[in-house]
Amino acid sequence: MHPVTTVHYLALSAALLLIGTVGVLTRRSIVIILMSIELILNAVNINLVAFSRQAHAVHGQIFAIFVIVDAVAEAAVGLGILIALFRNKETVLADEIDLLKW
Amino acid sequence: MPVNFGATATDLIRFLPEIILTVMGTALMVLDPVLHKRASHAFGHLSIFALLAGIGGAVYAQSNPGTAFGGMLVVDGFATYFRVLVMVVGILTILPSYGFLARQQAETSEYHALLLFSIAGQCMMAAANDLIIVFIGLEISSISSYVLAGYLRDDKRSNEAALKYFLLGSFATAFFLYGVAITYGTVGTVNLTAIRAALSGADAPPVVFITLAAALMFVGLGFKVSAAPFQVWAPDVYQGAPTPVAAFLSAGPKAAAFAVFLRIFLTAFGPIGADWLPLVWMAALLSMTVGNFAALMQTNVKRMLAYSSIAHAGYVLVALTAQSDTGTAAAMFYLAAYAFMNIGAFAVVSHVSGRGERYQNIDDLAGLGRKQPMMAAMLTIFLLSLIGVPLTGGFFGKFYIFKAALESHLVWLAVLGLLNSAVAAYYYLRILVMVYMHEPGEAAGQTEPLTPGFRLALILPALGTLFLGIFPTWVLDCAGKSATLVK
C-alpha cells in the first residue's frame, strides 16, 4: 500500500478542475453548468486542505470553510436567477438564452 | 499557538465604512414594511445618508492608518482613496435611480440594500491585505451585483443579463480561488505582505508555481475588470441590466477590482514582476483593440458604452504594465475620472430610454440637443471626456497613463494606446452628431421633463469630470501620495 501524499490530492484536484472546466464550456443545461462550477470550487477546497495538512497549519482549512460558505451563497443566488429566467422563458438551456447579442 | 480573535477598538474603527454600510443595508430591509408605498423615496435618501456616513468613516479611519485584525486588513492612503471612490460611485448611482425606479414602478428597499452590500464588499476589497479578505470582499460585491443585474425580474433581458453575469462571474471566481490555493501551497501564506517577503527572500519558492498562480488569479480579476479576452460577458450584461445598475457595474466593481489587481500584483507578486508582465500587456493591448473596434459597430448605446468600458480597462492595464508608482497613481486618477464620465453618460441614456427601457439605440438620441439642451450639454461633456479632450478628466487620465508608460520605456504600448484613442473618438463623436445635427425622433419627443434630483445626477458627474480636467493636481497628489504606499 502506498501512503496517500499531497501529490495525490493535487492530482485529484487538477482532475476535478479539468472536469469542471470542460463541463462549464460544453454542457447545454445551466443546472449542469452550475454543478461544474461547484466541482471547481471543491477542487480548490481539496487543494487548500491538502496544503494545510502538509504545512501543519490551520489557515488552509479555515479558507476552505469560507469557500464552502461562498459556494452555498452562489448556488442560492444562481438558482434564484435561473428560476426568474425560467418563469419568463421556460428554458434552462444555455443556447436558447440568446436575446442579447449583436 | 493560541490565536486572538478579539477585535480591538482600533480594528473596528479601521473597519468603520464596511460596518456602517452593512448595518444600514440590513436596516433598510427591516424598515421595508414600515416605509413601503408611503415614502419609497426614503430608501434612496437613507442609502445616500449611509454612503455619506461611510465616506466620513473612511476618512476618519485614515486619521490613524495601519493594519487591522492581525494584518488581514490595511488602512492606508490607497485603501482610503478607493473606499471613498466606490462610495462616491454609489451616491452617483442612486441619484439617477430615483427617476429610473419610479418609471419602472420598481421602488423597493432590496435595490438599495443590495447596492450598499455590494459597495461594502468593494470597500473591503480596497482595504484587503490578505487573500481571504480579497476573496470575501470580491464575493460580497459580486453576488450582490448578480442580483442587481437581474433586478427587473419580469424583463427577459434583465434575467438573461443576470444569468450570464452570474455564470461567467462564478466561473472566474473559481479560477481566482484555484490561483489562491496554489499560492497558499507554494508560499505557505495568503497574507499579501508575507507573500512579498517570501518571494523576495533568499529561499524563494519555485517561480513556475507562483507564475501559474498569478496567471490563474489574473484570469479571475481580468474577468472582474472586463479585460479582453475575458470580456464577453460585459456587453450582454450592460445591455440587459437596468441602466443605473449598468452604470454602477462599469464603475464601482471595476474600480475595486483594479484596486485589488494593483495591490496583489504590485505588492504580493511585485518581486516576480518580469514573469507576469507579458500577461498584462497582452491583455491591455487586446482590451483596447477589441473594445474600440467592436464599439464602432454597435447600434445600441448601452452596448457601445460596454465595449468602450472594455477599452478603458485596457488603458488602465497599460498603467499597471508600467509597474511604477507613477503608473499606479495614473491608474487611480483614471479610475476616478472614468467613474464620473461613464456614470454621467449612463444617466443620460437611462433618462432617454424611458419606461420599460425601450429607447436604447443611438438613433433614439437624435435631436436631443433641441429637445433637452441641458441634458445634451452634459452628455457632450461626458463624451468629450471619454474621448480624452483637454479640460476634461479623461484627458489627464490618459495623459498620465501614457506618461507612466513612456517613463517605463513602453513606447510602443503608449503609441498603440494613442492610436486606439483616435479610433475611439469616432464612435463617441457619432453620438454627438446624432444629438445635435439630426431631427428629433420619437424617443426625444417622449422624454419626460427633468426632475431636480435627476438634474443633480447629471450636474455632479459633470462637475467631477470638469474638476478633474481643470484642477487635476489635487486628486493626482492624493493618488501620488497613496501610490507609494502600495508596496
By CA distance, what is B188's nearest residue in A? A55
By CA distance, what is A76's nearest residue in B? B143
> Coil, helix or strand for B414?
helix
Q: What is the ipTM of this complex?
A: 0.94
Contact of A16 with chain B, judged by CB distance below 8 Å, is answered with no
Top pLDDT among A99 and B361 is at: B361
With 70 as the cut, is the pLDDT of residue B487 above it? no
Determine the distance in angstroms separating the CA of B436 from the nearest CA of chain A, rounded to an integer.
26
* Pairwise CB contact (< 8 Å): A73 & B143: yes
B144-198 pLDDT, tens digit each:
999 999 998 888 889 999 999 999 999 999 999 999 999 999 988 899 988 988 8
CB atoms near residue B303 (< 10 Å): 25
Contact present, A60 and A51 (Cβ < 8 Å): yes
Please give the Cα distance from B387 to B400 (Å, whole number).
15
Mutation for B interface: A9, A74, A82, most B CBs within 10 A: A74
* Pairwise CB contact (< 8 Å): A74 & B170: yes
What was the pLDDT predicted at B147?
94
B195-219 pLDDT, tens digit each:
988 888 777 788 888 999 999 999 9
Contact of A84 with chain B, judged by CB distance below 8 Å, is answered with yes
CA A36 to chain centre: 5
Please give the Cα distance from B372 to A47 (Å, whole number).
58
What was the pLDDT predicted at B150?
92
What was the pLDDT predicted at B137?
95
* Pairwise CB contact (< 8 Å): B163 & A88: no
Above pLDDT 70, what percent of chain B?
A: 96
* Pairwise CB contact (< 8 Å): A77 & B159: no
What was the pLDDT predicted at B332?
93
Compute the mean pLDDT over every residue in chain B, rounded to the nearest whole number.
Answer: 89
Q: Which residues pair with B73 in a beta bridge?
A: B68, B128
Q: Which residues of B touch A17 (CB under 8 A)?
A: 178
Greatest pairwise CA separation for chain A in angstroms: 58
B161, B173, B174: residue with CB nearest A100: B161
> Coil, helix or strand for B358?
coil
Burial tier of A9 (Cβ tally within 10 Å: 0-12, 13-18, 19+): middle
What residues 122-141 of chain B have any CB closer than 8 A to a CB of chain A?
132, 135-136, 139
Please give the Cα distance from A54 to B268 (Å, whole number).
23
A73-98 pLDDT, tens digit each:
999 999 999 999 999 888 888 887 77
A47, A55, A84: residue with CB nearest B159: A84
Phi, psi of A29 (to 5 degrees): -75, 130
* Pairwise CB contact (< 8 Å): A51 & B132: no
By CA distance, what is A87's nearest residue in B? B154
Residue ranges of domains in chain A, CATH in brackets? 6-95 (1.10.287.3510)
What was the pLDDT predicted at B38?
64
Residues with Cβ within 8 Å of A6's Cβ and at least 6 positions away in sequence, in order, are: A50, A51, A53, A54
By CA distance, what is A74's nearest residue in B? B143
Section B28-45 average pLDDT: 81
B135, B154, B155: residue with CB nearest A66: B135
Whether pTM > 0.90 for this model: the answer is yes
Determine the distance in angstroms separating the CA of B390 from the nearest CA of chain A, rounded to an integer.
33
Top pLDDT among B3 and B342 is at: B342
What was the pLDDT predicted at B271?
86
Contact of A15 with chain B, judged by CB distance below 8 Å, is answered with no
